[in-house]
Every structure is written in C-alpha cells, then in structure tokens.
DNA sequence: TTGTAAGCGTTATCAG
DNA sequence: CTGATAACGCTTACAA
C-alpha cells in the first residue's frame, strides 16, 4: 500500500509538504498542492488511520458497547447514534463481549457509549479517570467523565399503572426482564409504587428475559393456572408480544380476560391485534441525543452530566 | 495514561525488556519479569493498541459492515460471528454507513465481512488487491482475496415452490424485497423457475422491502382486490409476518383462502398462528462459519473461496 | 538475560 | 511556501 512517502516522492516534494497538502492546510502553493493531490490520486493513496491516530492521539472512533446484537430497541438506538456520528465525521464502532473491553483498554476509541452490564463499574471508572469520556445507558455512575442517560422508568410505569388501577384492574402482575437489568428493576419500582399507593399488593411476579420467546413461555405457564391476574405489566414490549401470543392461542381474550401492557413502543406491538398499550420511547431520537452529547464532549464543549430520553404512556387496545 | 516507558522505569529495566516480559517472551529472567509485571499492575498499565497495531501492521480487528443495524437475521449472524472471533482472540467491529468505508480505507481492520451493498464492488476490489481479505455475503465477486458466502436462494425457493405447486396451489404471487438486494433477486429466480417448469405464470408481484411494516401494507392493499392469489411467497419472514397480520385482520383464512410462505426461519415466525412455512437458514451457524474462514485466512491457512450456509424447506401450518 | 536503536506512517515544530 | 526532524508508543533485530 502506498504511503505518504510515495506520494511525496512522486510529486517531488518533502513528506511534510505532502502532509500539509493532503490535510488541506492553507500554507501550500496551489500548484504544488495540485501536484501532490494528483500524485495521491495516481497512487490511490489513503492515509493510514492507525499512524494518524497514534500521532494525533485520537481516533475519531466512538465505541458503542452492547451486551447483544439483538432486538428492535438496539437497532433503532444504534441507527440514531450512527446518523448523528456520521454527520459529524465520527466513526461508529459497535462491539460486544470481550471485544468491547479490548477496544476500550487499547484506546481504539475516543469515547464510548455503554449499554452492557458485563463491563464492570470499576473498569469504566478507571478509564474515565484516565480521560476517556463515557456515556452509560444502563446504570447510574457518579464520576468525573462518566455521563448517564437513563429512561425515566419509574415515573413512566408509575403513571401507566395508576391509570390502570383507576380503570378498575385489581389483580396486577409483573412480567419481569432479567433481574440484574437496570431498566427492569426500575420499572418494577414504579409498578410497586403505584400499587402501594392504592393499597394493592402485586398479584404475581413472573421471571422473563425481555424476549418474545420468554414471554410466550410465561404465557403458556400462566394458562395452566386457575387463579389468573386481570392485568399484566410486561417489562418490555417483546415479552408482552410473546405473552399475548400464548394467551391468544388459548382463546383468552385481551383485554377482557387479561389486559396487557408493555414498554418501548416497538413497531410490531402496533401491528398485532389488539394493539399493545405501552410506554413510548423514541429510541432513534435518544440515540441521536446521546451521540450529540458524546460529540460535544469530544469537542470540549460543555454538556449536562445527565439527560433523559422522552417517554410517554400510550394507551391502546390491549388494556 | 501510563506507557511502557513508565513501567520500565518503575521496574528499573529497559523498554525492550519490559516489552518482552509483558508479551510473555521466554527470554526474560523470572525475577525481572515478576518485577515488571508488578510494576505494570501498580500503574494499571495497558498497552496502547494503536501503537502496537502500527508497529505490527495488524490490528486483530475484523470489521463487519452491514447496511443497517436492524433485523433478527443480522442479530443472529452477528452473534455467531462474535462468538467465533472472540474464541480466537479477534475483536469484532460492527459498522455501517460511511464509517465502514473509513475503517476499511484507513486499515483499522485486518479483514472485513461485508453485507452492505452501499459499498461498491470497485472499492472492495481495490482493497482486496492491496491485500485486505474480504468475505462478501451479499453479492458474487470473483477476485483475488475476495471470498463469497451466499445462501443457495435459487435452489431452495425452487424446491419450496415445486412442493407447493404439487400441493395444488395455482395462483402464485411473489412478495419481493428491495429490488437491488441480491437475496431478493435470486429468490425470485427460483420462484420463476419452478413456475415455468409447470407452465405457470406469476399471478402477482408485490414490491415489499423485507420489513414487517412493508408486508403489512402490501396485505392491506391486497384485501381491496377481488382477484387474489391462493399462495404468496414472501422474500423473507418479516414481510410474511406483516402480510399475515393484515390478512388476519380482514378475516382472510390462512392457508385456506391464501397460503403464505417466507424465508429465513426467524423465531417469531414460529410463534404466530398459523406457524409460518419457511426456508430455514441457521444464521448463527453461518456467522460462525464465516468468522472461522476469516480467521483461517488471517492466519494464512488455506480456505475454500466459496462456501454456503445450510438451508432447508420447513413446511408448517401456513401452507 | 538485558539493553540499544531502528522504524511502523503519520503530524507538527521549527528553520530556512 | 517548503523541508528537516522529532516525536506518538510500541516491537524486534542485533549487540552486549
């Protein structure tokens, strides 16, 4: 592969002049510049990013570290992040598993957006302490260089549940996501709070895993019982969709026999019958917002340490 | 951030000795090594990947370039790729849009798995010619350093359609994906071939886009017609699911009134009623396979230039 | 077993 | 406006 040295030689200039020309510096004679650019094209030269990154001590890469590549929520958020980063000439690097750690440890990114609880607080704090800006979306960490953006889970679920209780539902169950998931825990807090306020106790707690399949299995278990809830709040839409599928297969009417609600407002939820009541988060907008904050941080501009995506209760046919 | 220089100084050795020790070279005295390792821990030193990559002229990163972050198919394939790369100590870097191009051009990856028709053949050929190994999953390119792994779309769809024609379906329509998508085009070829062999002509061709929403809209259009197909092959499961949703909402019976089949065998397709007839591709296994080939290439081992994921027809309730 | 020094491909400082 | 030259942080002959 051609290097800047080859370009300089072909154009008959020094390496530094070539570098100036290629980087659009104003201090190089138009004619020389043309010659250099031409030589570069001739050789189809492209700067070696690694070398540039080493010298400049920055990569222009933003890491997005997620615990899995699955799910409509991630898709949309990632797409939002991607768009905004692209507009500002940053590269998006999505990774998962040990790769994420490596990329962080080896500083192959200038900053990272983290949605992966496999990366410990300590690691995050350590790199933040060394100047790596981090935006964390799945937990709360108070630390220099660590920013958090969290969904207002508690309050949103609280409002939804309060509405439902007013509507008359009484035997209220919760279909949970993974126990260690921040979003799941906070959603449960909101759920419980609403019930407590009305002197109700949870009618059931089912352990799901945020997936359609998980919700489906819970549904299949549920129909074996005789004593069923009249309302199930699901910690996300995907569980809700799986659950509804199972209920429908047993001819349990939604919402007449059991009402269901979810969280996220993913597209499929609005295509099924009955349309899913849910809490709408604009994930794409959130992604854009998060990316914009990261860019501002990297450009040295002042940003708020904590910011939220918007969310609102969306009552539909399933309740 | 501490550098190897700091470690060397703290341990009272030269930089090269520190490097040897840190890289587990056998030529360093156990005691010295211990001292160095201790110093490294003390400073919580981690090598600067960029510098190492520059020197070694390799990154240990494999790029996976996709045209969008959406969809269950990508999720599973990516997860397979991730697992295998991780097992062999390579980092996975997933990217999309202009970032992909940058990472490729700037050689921040050692090789790339490409599923993004926004990256032109010419660019791919150019980098391949300069020694960058590429595995392309969405088109056929014959070129040194470019490997292809393609689903056997044509033959699989051909078999499915032949079976359906034998079952007695006569008015056979095709719900397409994006026109420029390789998979869509090849699936149509198989569809047409089966029809031709039985002297049938396609009853309809609907332009979809591989999404649930797209299929749903087609379905909504379809029910306005009086003259309907009795079988619709959908270029992927997601379109099929959207289509079925729309049909069900209008109380059109599946398969009695209209039969439906898809392609991919995604999880939701087997949770809905009726269960979707489809062509099953084990995407996770495919991802693993692709990653393994990439690793072999990078390790200089011999590999086949072209390989396929397995697929099979899976007849279910929807036909 | 350890140290010296060259060099990976850039950018940036400083003279000319 | 252009050119030497020194880094960036690491690996790796080669020398000691």
Average pLDDT over residues A189-197: 98
A 68-127 residues inside an 8 A Cβ radius of B: 68-72, 74-76, 78-79, 82-83, 85-86, 90-99, 102-103, 105-108, 126
Nearest CA to CA, how far is A219 from chain B (Å)?
Answer: 12
The share of chain B scoring above pLDDT 70, in percent, equals 100
∠ at Cα B271 (B267, B272), nearest 5°? 120
Of the candidates A72, A81, A120, A82, the one whose C-alpha atom is nearest the C-alpha of residue A100 is: A120
Spatial distance between the Cα atoms of B69 and A75, rounded to a whole number of angstroms: 5
Of the candidates A114, A89, A142, A99, the one whose C-alpha atom is nearest the C-alpha of residue A298 is: A89
Spatial distance between the Cα atoms of A135 and A154, rounded to a whole number of angstroms: 21
Q: Residue A81 CA to D11 C1' — how many Å?
A: 36
Q: What pLDDT, on a 0 to 100 scale, did the predictor assign at position A220?
A: 96
Nearest CA to CA, how far is B135 from chain A (Å)?
Answer: 19
* Cβ–Cβ gap A48/B272 under 8 Å: no
Spatial distance between the Cα atoms of A72 and B72, rounded to a whole number of angstroms: 8
Residue A267 has pLDDT above 90, yes or no: no
Q: What pLDDT, on a 0 to 100 scale, did the predictor assign at position B267?
A: 86
∠ at Cα B164 (B161, B166), nearest 5°? 110
Residue B216 has pLDDT above 90, yes or no: yes
∠ at Cα A250 (A243, A221), nearest 5°? 55
Nearest residue on chain B to A73, alpha-carbon basis: B70
Q: What is the pLDDT of residues A92-151, one digit of tens each?
A: 999 999 999 999 999 999 999 999 989 999 989 988 998 899 999 999 999 999 999 999
Q: B44 to chain A: which residues are within 8 Å by CB?
A: 126
Residues A307 and A98: beta-carbon distance below 8 Å: no
Q: What pLDDT, on a 0 to 100 scale, did the predictor assign at position A273?
A: 86
Peptide bond into A53 cis (omega under 30): no
B 254-273 residues inside an 8 A Cβ radius of A: 267-268, 271-273
Confidence band (pLDDT; 50, 70, 90) for A251?
very high
Interface residues 23-82 of A with strand C (CB < 7 Å): 23, 45, 47-48, 51-52, 54-56
Residue A306 has pLDDT above 90, yes or no: no
Residues A76 and A66: beta-carbon distance below 8 Å: no
Interface with chain A: mutation pick from B94, B109, B122, B247, highest number of A CBs within 10 Å:
B94
Confidence band (pLDDT; 50, 70, 90) for B278?
very high
SS3 of B304, please? coil
Order of strands, sheet of B204-207, starting from the edge strand that comes earlier in the sequence:
B204-207, B172-176, B231-234, B259-261
* Cβ–Cβ gap B271/A216 under 8 Å: yes
**Nearest CB to B213; choose among A70, A82, A267:** A267
Spatial distance between the Cα atoms of B258 and B61, rounded to a whole number of angstroms: 48
Nearest CA to CA, how far is B159 from chain A (Å)?
Answer: 29
Confidence band (pLDDT; 50, 70, 90) for A188?
very high
Q: B50 to chain A: which residues are within 8 Å by CB?
A: 50, 53-54, 59, 106-108
Determine the protein residue whose CA lies at the shortest distance from the C1' of C8. Answer: B55
Residue B279 zone, left/alpha/beta (φ > 0; ψ -120 to 50; rest): beta
Which ranges in B106-228 belong to alpha helices (H)? 121-129, 153-167, 182-197, 212-222
Q: What pLDDT, on a 0 to 100 scale, did the predictor assign at position B305?
A: 82
Average pLDDT over residues B190-219: 96
Q: At what angle do helices B237-249 and B212-222 cross, to 10 degrees?
A: 40
Q: What pLDDT, on a 0 to 100 scale, did the predictor assign at position A70?
A: 80
Q: List all residues 6 or more positions away from A114 whose beta carbon is below 8 Å from its beta carbon.
A: A65, A124, A134, A135, A136, A137, A138
* Cβ–Cβ gap A69/B94 under 8 Å: yes
Confidence band (pLDDT; 50, 70, 90) for B272?
confident
The share of chain B scoring above pLDDT 90, in percent, equals 92
Residue A72 has pLDDT above 90, yes or no: no
Residue B71 has pLDDT above 90, yes or no: no
Q: What pLDDT, on a 0 to 100 scale, did the predictor assign at position B70?
A: 80
Instruction: Give me chain B's average pLDDT, please.
Output: 95
* Cβ–Cβ gap A79/B68 under 8 Å: yes
Residues B133 and B111: beta-carbon distance below 8 Å: yes
Q: What pLDDT, on a 0 to 100 scale, did the predictor assign at position B81?
A: 98
**Nearest CB to A46; choose among B72, B95, B106:** B106
Residue B199 has pLDDT above 90, yes or no: yes
Residue B71 zone, left/alpha/beta (φ > 0; ψ -120 to 50; rest): left
Is the pTM for the entire model greater than 0.85?
Answer: yes
Instruction: Say how far residue B269 (Cα) sits from the centre of its chain.
Output: 19
Q: What pLDDT, on a 0 to 100 scale, did the predictor assign at position B282?
A: 94
Residue A153 has pLDDT above 90, yes or no: yes
Q: What pLDDT, on a 0 to 100 scale, did the predictor assign at position A218?
A: 97
Enumerate the nucleotides of strand C whose atoms come under 7 Å of any protein CB. 1-5, 7-13
Average pLDDT over residues A168-192: 97
Q: List all residues 6 or more positions away from A166 whose beta carbon is below 8 Å from its beta carbon.
A: none
| Beta-bridge partners for A65 | A95, A114
DSSP string, B8-69: HHHHTS-HHHHHHHHTT-TTS-HHHHHHHHHHHHHTT----HHHHHHHHT---EEEEEES-S
Residues A230 and A258: beta-carbon distance below 8 Å: yes
Residue B308 has pLDDT above 90, yes or no: yes
Spatial distance between the Cα atoms of A260 and A270, rounded to a whole number of angstroms: 13
Q: What is the pLDDT of residues B104-153, one digit of tens each?
A: 999 999 999 999 989 999 999 988 998 899 999 999 999 999 999 999 99
SS3 of B169, please? coil
Strand D contacted by B60 CB (< 7 A) = no
C-alpha count within 13 angstroms, C-beta hemisphere, residue A237: 23
Max alpha carbon distance in chain B (Å)?
A: 87
B 224-243 residues inside an 8 A Cβ radius of A: 242
Average pLDDT over residues B295-317: 93
Q: B295 to chain A: which residues are within 8 Å by CB?
A: none
* Cβ–Cβ gap A213/B271 under 8 Å: yes
Average pLDDT over residues B231-255: 96
Q: Which tokens hold the place of A73?
A: 């929520």
* Cβ–Cβ gap B93/A99 under 8 Å: yes
Strand D contacted by B23 CB (< 7 A) = yes
Confidence band (pLDDT; 50, 70, 90) for B3?
very high
Q: What domains are defined for chain B?
A: 4-45 (1.10.260.40), 57-149+283-309 (3.40.50.2300), 153-281 (3.40.50.2300)
The share of chain A scoring above pLDDT 70, in percent, equals 100
Q: Helix, strand, coil shares of chain B as percentages rounded to 5?
A: 45, 15, 40
Residues A32 and A39: beta-carbon distance below 8 Å: no
Q: What pLDDT, on a 0 to 100 scale, did the predictor assign at position B52?
A: 97
Average pLDDT over residues B192-219: 96
Residue B298 has pLDDT above 90, yes or no: yes
Nearest CA to CA, how far is B218 from chain A (Å)?
Answer: 13
* Cβ–Cβ gap B99/A92 under 8 Å: yes
* Cβ–Cβ gap B93/A93 under 8 Å: yes
Q: What is the pLDDT of residues B14-43, one digit of tens each?
A: 999 999 999 999 999 999 999 999 999 999
Q: B68 to chain A: which residues are within 8 Å by CB?
A: 75, 79
């Amino acid at each position: 592969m051609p290097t800047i040295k080859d370009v300089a030689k072909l154009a008959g200039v020094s390496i530094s002049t070539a570098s100036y020309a290629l980087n659009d510096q104003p201090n190089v004679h138009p004619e020389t510049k043309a010659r250099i650019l031409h030589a570069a094209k001739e050789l189809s030269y492209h700067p070696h990013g690694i070398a540039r990154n080493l010298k400049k001590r920055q990569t222009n890469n933003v890491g997005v570290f997620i615990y899995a590549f699955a799910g409509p929520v991630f898709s949309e958020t990632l797409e939002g992040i991607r768009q905004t980063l692209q507009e500002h000439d940053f590269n998006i690097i999505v990774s998962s598993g040990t790769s994420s750690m490596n990329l962080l440890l080896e500083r192959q990114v200038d900053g990272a957006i983290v949605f992966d609880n496999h990366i410990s607080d300590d690691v995050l704090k350590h790199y933040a302490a060394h100047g790596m800006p981090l935006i964390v979306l799945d937990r709360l960490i108070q630390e220099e260089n660590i920013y958090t953006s969290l969904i207002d889970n508690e309050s949103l679920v609280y409002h939804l549940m309060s509405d439902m209780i007013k509507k008359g539902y009484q035997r209220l169950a919760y279909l949970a996501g993974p126990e260690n998931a921040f979003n799941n825990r906070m959603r449960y807090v909101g759920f419980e709070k609403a019930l407590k306020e009305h002197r109700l106790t949870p009618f059931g707690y089912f352990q799901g895993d945020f997936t359609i399949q998980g919700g489906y299995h819970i549904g299949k278990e549920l129909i074996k019982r005789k004593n069923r809830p009249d309302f199930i709040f699901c910690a996300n839409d995907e569980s809700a969709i799986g659950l509804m599928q199972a209920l429908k297969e047993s001819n349990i009417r939604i919402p007449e026999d059991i009402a269901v609600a979810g969280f996220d407002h993913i597209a499929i939820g609005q295509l099924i019958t009955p349309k899913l009541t849910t809490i709408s988060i604009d994930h794409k907008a959130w992604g854009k917002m998060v990316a914009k904050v990261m860019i501002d941080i990297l450009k040295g501009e002042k940003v708020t340490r904590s910011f939220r995506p918007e969310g609102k209760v969306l009552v539909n046919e399933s309740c």
